[in-house]
Structures are given as C-alpha cells and as structure tokens.
Amino acid sequence: MASSNIELNVKNPTFVATYASWVGGFPGANGAPGFTQDADGDGVPNGVEHILGTSPAARSVGLYEFTKLPSSAVKFRHSLSNSIIAGITHSYQWSTDLVNWHSSGQTNAGNTNVTITPVTVVNTAAPALDTVEVTATVNSGPNVKLFVRLRAAQ
C-alpha cells in the first residue's frame, strides 16, 4: 500500500485582512472593539494601537521619549507596525489649542507654522515593530503651546 505526504508550509498564519479580524484577535477588546474606541483605557484608540502594533486589550505606552530641543522643536518616538492592514493609514497633526488641528507645513490663524518630520530609526520586518522618531518644528509664529498627535484613519 502506498502513501503520500503533503507538506503545507504556512508562512504567515497570523495574517489578517480586515480591522475587524485584527481586533477580533484580542478577546479583551470585545467590550469596545471600534476603531476610535479605547478598549484598554490607556488613552490610545484601538485604531492607533493597530498602527503602533500594540494590543488594544493591554495598556501600552503610545508615544514616548518627548524631548524639547534647543531650537523651537520637540521630538518623540513611537513603535510602528510592519503589518498595517490595507486601507488603514496614519498621519501626524499639530495644534496650539487642542481644538484646531493642522497637518505638517500648515499655518494656523495665529500665524504659527509647524513642520512634522518622521524618521524610521529602527527598521525591522514583521512581526517585529519599527521605531519612528518624529520631530515637530515651529517655523514661525508667537510663543505658544504646541500639541502633536498621531492619527489613524480607515
């Protein structure tokens, strides 16, 4: 009697195609699985957790290592997933009042202009996470408070 073997090589068994299947992989996030919800209450919305490559069901640090630079600039770091689902994007925004948010290079009504520049400082491959260092530079405007955020969109 003859027999044969079939070898199945599954290279990426954790592949997920949609946000719903990704968040569904974290049972602890079932209570608040929405893209803009914050299932673990750490202040990082689930969609941003996806960008960062962190769990939406366990507290994570989000943005870190905020540093004021000698010039009119601030820098910070964050992890970045190498497995971001198609259709989900991220961007950076700045504000002086936490109400009106602007993209890099825009000038607000008070004549403040800010450039936001991300640089990948640790470049890995999935499932490992990259590290991105983001510098926000105030190019012009009066002395104001500066807020910077990472946004996720789908």
> Which C-beta is closer to Ca ion: that of 48 or that of 73?
48
Among 7-15, 42-50, 71-79, 93-101, the segment contacting Ca ion (CB under 5 A): 42-50
Is residue 54 a contact point for Ca ion (CB under 5 A)?
no
Q: Compute the distance between CA of residue 35 and CA of residue 37 in angstroms, rounded to an integer.
A: 6
Question: Which 3 state secondary structure label does DSSP give 10?
Answer: coil
Structure-token pair, residue 2: 């003859």
The conformation of residue 55, written as its DSSP 8-state character, comes to -
Is residue 52 a contact point for Ca ion (CB under 5 A)?
no
> Which C-beta is closer to Ca ion: that of 42 or that of 133?
42
Phi-psi region of 8 (alpha: psi -120 to 50; beta: other; left: phi over 0): beta
Among 22-30, 40-48, 76-84, 125-133, the segment contacting Ca ion (CB under 5 A): 40-48
Write the burial class of residue 143 (CB in 10 Å: 0-12 exposed, 13-18 middle, 19+ buried): exposed
> Which C-beta is closer to Ca ion: that of 47 or that of 137?
47
Among 34-42, 72-80, 94-102, 108-116, the segment contacting Ca ion (CB under 5 A): 34-42
Is residue 33 a contact point for Ca ion (CB under 5 A)?
no
Is residue 38 a contact point for Ca ion (CB under 5 A)?
yes
Is residue 42 a contact point for Ca ion (CB under 5 A)?
yes
> Alpha-carbon dihedral of residues 97, 98, 104, 106, nearest 10 degrees?
-40
Binding site for Ca ion (CB under 5 A): 38, 40, 42, 44
